[in-house]
Amino acid sequence: MSENVKPIAILFFTLFLVMIGFGIVIPIFPFLILELGGGPTALGFFMASFSVMQFIFAPFWGKLSDRIGRRPVLLIGLCGYGLTFILFGFVSELWMMFAIRILSGIISSATLPTAMAYIADTTGGEERSKGMGILGAAMGLGMIVGPALGGWLGHNSFSLPFFVAGGLAVLTLPFAILFLPESLKEKGKNMPGGKARITLEVVKNPLFILFLLGFITNFTMSLFQGTFALFAADKVGFGPRELGIVFAVLGIVSVILQGGLVGRLVKRYGDVKLIKAGMLIASVGMLLIIPAPGIILLYITIAIFNIGVTLLGPSSSSLVTKNSSGGQGAALGIMQSFNSLGRIFGPMVGGALYDIHMSVPYFLGAVSMLLMAILAGNKIARFDVKEVKDDHRVQ
């Protein structure tokens, strides 16, 4: 396992810098859309446009990484991040925001599923859940620094955070080129008959319940992200700086859980129990956001919600890789497409419901997670690492 420490450390550093860049712009997008003449509906469709492209292209990138290797696909994704962030700094019209967002979704969707596949290549058994936790910790740490920095940089200029984000993405390229080795040893040989494209046949896939879980999780999370800027502004008067602090708090929670606790919790309770607990905690946390009377309680309730969502991510991704009968990159690509599908409908539904009443999106999110916990029930128990070993995957 010692030989895998260095690649994982490099991947951690790369994703950390990428997520700083990604997080920088989060407090800016809602207010920039409003400044360019858009409203809640435009904001919802803007956020969804990126996920539409991810839904279409993530399976392609996942399958391509199974064929040509993880490293070149990761480099393409990093280039996409850098290019599109810099272009955002020059926008002056609303249509330009949408065009660049679409381009960003096409290219940068190569990064996350390929990074997950990289971890799957270099780890096994319980170490894989730990590896997914390390991956999540890198993202969470970047999401601590990024939004806080973006809120500060964007207080007086909406363009500056985009240029800084693009610069950080470009800075990661030399490190990835020089120090990130290829993790896939047998290119094109680990996916006999595996399909990355989503069709109706996916319902028959033994992993479908995990894919559906990814959809509901991301639907709820993106519903929150797509409306929270408006919710916080209307309820307690938040601006870019305050919104940056909120997402920094969420990042702190993610790092603590994924970096230090997820691996230990998996060893003690297993992935399945963590998933069930995560769904219930997320449901309760989102419901408590609605009546939160002030800033402090608002922070506490969104932290509870984020704890639940954080527990879901590494465990569900780990179960997919442990139980995929074809290529791991292809399976993760399909899961990423379901995640993207959730991120498509989440902000659009959230924006429409927000026009009805500001509390409705959060009630829907809480109910969705609760229903998923009931629906999943014991169906995911057969995927537990204690019951399904790496060398006996679901066929």
Residues 17-37 pLDDT 10s: 777 777 777 788 888 888 888
Domain membership flag for residue 301: yes
Is residue 345 very low, low, confident or very high in pLDDT (cuts 50, 70, 90)?
A: very high
Per the structure, the complete domain to which residue 168 belongs is given by 2-179+201-383
Domain membership flag for residue 185: no
Domain membership flag for residue 188: no
Helix axes 208-236, 360-376, angle to 10 degrees: 160
Domain membership flag for residue 184: no
**Is residue 194 pLDDT above 50, yes or no?**
no
What value does the mean pLDDT take over residues 225-237? Answer: 84
* DSSP states along 100-154: HHHHHHHHHTTHHHHHHHHHHHH--THHHHHHHHHHHHHHHHHHHHHHHHHHHHT
Specify whether the CB–CB gap between 27 and 147 falls below 8 A: yes
N- to C-terminal Cα distance for the chain?
28
Is residue 190 very low, low, confident or very high in pLDDT (cuts 50, 70, 90)?
A: very low
Specify the pLDDT at position 200. 67
Specify whether the CB–CB gap between 360 and 45 falls below 8 A: no
Q: Point out the least confidently predicted range of 189-193, 250-254, 269-273, 304-308.
A: 189-193
CB crowding 267-302: b at 16 or more within 10 Å, else e = eeebbbbbbbbbbebbbbbbbbbbebeebeebeebb
Domain membership flag for residue 195: no
pTM of the model: 0.72
Q: Read off the CATH number of the domain in which 227 is found.
A: 1.20.1250.20
Domain membership flag for residue 192: no
Better-scored residue on pLDDT, 305 or 136: 305
Q: Point out the least confidently predicted range of 14-28, 33-47, 104-118.
A: 14-28
Domain membership flag for residue 92: yes
What value does the mean pLDDT take over residues 276-298? Answer: 89
CA angle at 49 for the pair 361 and 338, rounded to the nearest 5°: 70
**Is residue 285 pLDDT above 80, yes or no?**
yes
Specify the pLDDT at position 164. 86
Domain membership flag for residue 66: yes
Q: Give the count of domains, the chain.
A: 1
Alpha carbons 65 and 118: distance in angstroms, whole number: 9
